[in-house]
């Protein structure tokens, strides 16, 4: 666990390129060969770090949505806002977890933590009165795609923080509201 914590510290300060087995060992104060007892490759180490990051994100999401459990739309907003805040506060962590060339998404520990995040989203969607033009998985993918796309564009510098001029909400909240309006049935 100490090796993984050191890996996250390096990830935060130097980006994924700075996270090498040798650098993690050096920061942990162990021989550069010691991590090989736990991680046969850099990819295996990055995968374990990604699983830890996803676990942290899943815990943050669970905490955020707990307060709005009876309000499906607010729960979805809390889910998204947690993802936005996490990614913008820890961009190197967020970017690592999606890099398939560096992280083995078929790893059971990582897949389990990724599923915790996705299952939470599905559970939140099941609580509301959804439009049934498409299935619940399509709604979940639409929300996740919007969240991830917005985050990626922000992290890449293609978008900047701004406000929606109609609602005066932060753009991230307004685009989610726009999507939610299309997902949930409204009583008229």
The CATH number that applies at residue 20 is 1.10.10
Distance in Å from the first CA to the final CA of the chain: 54
Tokens representing 165? 């001029």
Residue 24 CB coordination number (10 Å): 28
Residues 136 and 71 in one domain: yes
pLDDT of residue 175: 87
Residues 113 and 32 in one domain: no
Residues 146 and 126 in one domain: yes
Of 124, 127, 134, whose CA–CA distance to 183 is shortest? 134
d(CA 84, CA 95) in angstroms, rounded, equals 12
Tokens representing 179? 């999507």
Residues 160, 172 contacting (CB under 8 angstroms): no
Q: How many domains does one find in the chain? A: 2
Mean pLDDT of the chain, nearest integer: 90
Secondary structure of residue 60 in the 3-state scheme? helix
Q: Which comes out higher in pLDDT, residue 119 or 175? A: 119
Residues 133 and 92 in one domain: yes
Residues 90 and 124 in one domain: yes
Per-residue exposure over 40-58, b if at least 16 CB sit within 10 Å of its own CB, e if not: eebebbbbbbbbbbbbebb
Residues 25 and 87 in one domain: no
Domain that holds residue 100: 51-183
Mean pLDDT of 107-131: 89
Helix or strand run (H / E) with residue 28 = helix 21-28
49-89 tens-digit pLDDT: 999 999 999 999 999 999 876 777 888 999 999 999 999 99
Residues 7 and 76 in one domain: no
Mean pLDDT of 37-50: 94
pTM over 0.85: yes
pLDDT confidence of 187, banded at 50, 70, 90? low
Separation in Å, CA 46 to CA 21, 60, 68, 104: 9, 21, 34, 8
Residues 13 and 80 in one domain: no
> Across the chain, how many H-helices and E-strands are there?
8, 0
Residues 126 and 167 in one domain: yes
pLDDT of residue 37: 85
d(CA 94, CA 88) in angstroms, rounded, equals 8
In a domain, 165, yes or no: yes
Residue 130: pLDDT over 70: no
Location of structure tokens 């850099």: 42
Mean pLDDT of 20-39: 89
Residues 69 and 19 in one domain: no
pLDDT of residue 183: 72
d(CA 36, CA 56) in angstroms, rounded, equals 25
Residue 157: pLDDT over 60: yes
In a domain, 45, yes or no: no
pLDDT of residue 52: 97
In a domain, 188, yes or no: no
In a domain, 77, yes or no: yes
Residues 32 and 62 in one domain: no
CATH number at residue 108: 1.10.357.10
């Amino acid at each position: 666990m100490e090796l993984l914590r050191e890996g996250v510290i390096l990830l935060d300060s130097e980006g994924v390129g700075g996270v090498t087995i040798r650098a993690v060992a050096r920061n942990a104060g162990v021989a550069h060969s010691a991590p090989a007892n736990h991680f046969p490759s850099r990819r295996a180490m990055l995968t374990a770090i990604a699983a830890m990051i996803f676990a942290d994100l899943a815990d943050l999401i669970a905490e955020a949505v707990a307060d709005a459990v009876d309000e499906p739309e607010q729960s979805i907003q809390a889910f998204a806002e947690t993802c936005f805040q996490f990614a913008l506060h820890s961009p190197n962590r967020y970017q690592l977890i999606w890099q398939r060339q560096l992280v083995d998404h078929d790893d059971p520990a990582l897949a389990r933590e990724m599923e915790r995040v996705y299952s939470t989203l599905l559970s939140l969607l099941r609580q509301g009165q959804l439009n049934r033009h498409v299935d619940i998985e399509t709604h979940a993918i639409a929300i996740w795609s919007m969240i991830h796309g917005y985050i990626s564009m922000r992290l890449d510098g293609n978008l900047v923080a701004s406000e929606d001029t109609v609602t005066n909400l932060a753009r991230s909240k307004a685009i989610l509201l726009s999507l939610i309006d299309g997902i949930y049935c409204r009583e008229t």
